[in-house]
Amino acid sequence: MNNPILKILISPVILMSFISCGPQKAEWQGRIEEANGMMVVYNPKEALSENAGRVLQLKEEMRITDSQEDFYFKTPGNIKTAPDGSIFVLDGEQFLKFDKKGKFIKNLFKKGQGPGEFERIGNYLFSSHGIVVLQGRPNKIVRLDMLGELINEIRPEEAVSKLITCFEDEYIMAGSSFPKLEKAGEEPEIIDINWSLRLVTENGKVKNTNLDFPVKWYAQRLKNAIIANFIVDFTAKPFMDKFLVIYHTQEYMLKLLDLESQQIVRTFTREYRSVKLKPDKTGRVEVRPHLYTLVPPVDYLNDIQKLFIQNKTIWAMTSTVDKEKGILVDVFNLRGEYIDNFYLPLQHHVKIEGLSQHPMTISGDALFIVEYDENDIPSVVKYKIKD
């Protein structure tokens, strides 16, 4: 085996996470095959750790509400924590910054089409220079300092609609194919969408990588628009500075992309029993209060609902829900080995049918999630995860 990338992936990995795998079973029971220069890891049904299947505890530490009167929560989402611990939340025409204790600092959203202004924010991330913000239409990348002041703007020469991460001096992004509906009228249908990974330079030049990731949407043509709900979305998370962990299929399948070589170097899966979806006759489902979406005609939930990166481990939140324990989260290492799993007691906080779209993030030993009270009033809640 002369591929240096594969040598790195197969070498021992030191796991540094607040989740301890505890005593391990005698040996890993999976198998590894090589196909077209890529390692394919087939994991068994059971995780390696003898402590697998335990329930982690959630202790509420903070609750952010709009009682501070400087902002108004409607449908808060895309929660992220900055390197300095400050908390950011998107909510329509609000880009809200809070300090690490939840005190409101500033709304960074400036409405308009001028420099540093937005019609709508698609995504954002943090870099060594501050905040990088993507606007879809009109397409632009905006760099702000941590106070929200404009540094510069970049106009990509081609449309890109996903901002994933920064790597060296380029932005890792993705663009999707145009949705094409075949059926006449307003009858909904399943359509194929292709996401292409692209690199965007500081001067706006877009470079294609020849890496494509097909997904499926459920779409409906209306009089002057198309509405759609993804059956499965394209998700890519930066991992250990030089990788992306990707999933884009309904089945249990994760891919490891090396950003330097721009190659998928490892694919891994595990034996998993898919969760049957309860039939719905209304044609739409309420994923959050007052937020409805089309119900795709599928028999099973996607095996993986959410993906989190926790230090040197990958957490895959599955569709498996135990009424007493919570939602099952699987843990993998860099080699793609299924090393651990645990339950997060979120079964009373979020509907499994809307789990993939429910605002939630994990940062260190903290979980941030949007919750609604009995009057459907949202708040952003921080829980400490205790193993």
Give the Cα separation of 231 and 79 in Å (integer).
23
Q: pLDDT by residue (tens digit) across 70-120?
A: 899 999 999 999 999 999 999 999 999 999 999 999 999 999 999 999 999
Contact 330, 341 (CB under 8 A): yes
Give the global pTM: 0.90
Closest CA to 81 of 61, 97, 59: 97
Give the Cα separation of 160 and 163 in Å (integer).
8
Lowest mean pLDDT among 198-207, 274-283, 324-333: 274-283
- Domains of the chain plus CATH, in order, are 33-52+65-294 (2.120.10)
- Could you tell me what percent of the chain has a pLDDT over 70? 89
Maximum Cα interatomic distance, the chain, rounded to a whole number of Å? 62
pLDDT of residue 5: 36
pLDDT of residue 226: 85
pLDDT of residue 204: 96
* Helices (H), ranges, the chain: 4-10
Arithmetic mean of pLDDT, 125-147: 94
Average model confidence (pLDDT) for the chain? 89
pLDDT higher than threshold 90 for residue 207: yes
Give the Cα separation of 192 and 181 in Å (integer).
9
pLDDT of residue 26: 59
- The amino acid at residue 36 is N
Site of tokens 């292409």: 196
Q: pLDDT by residue (tens digit) across 234-266?
A: 999 999 999 999 999 999 999 999 999 999 999
pLDDT of residue 136: 87
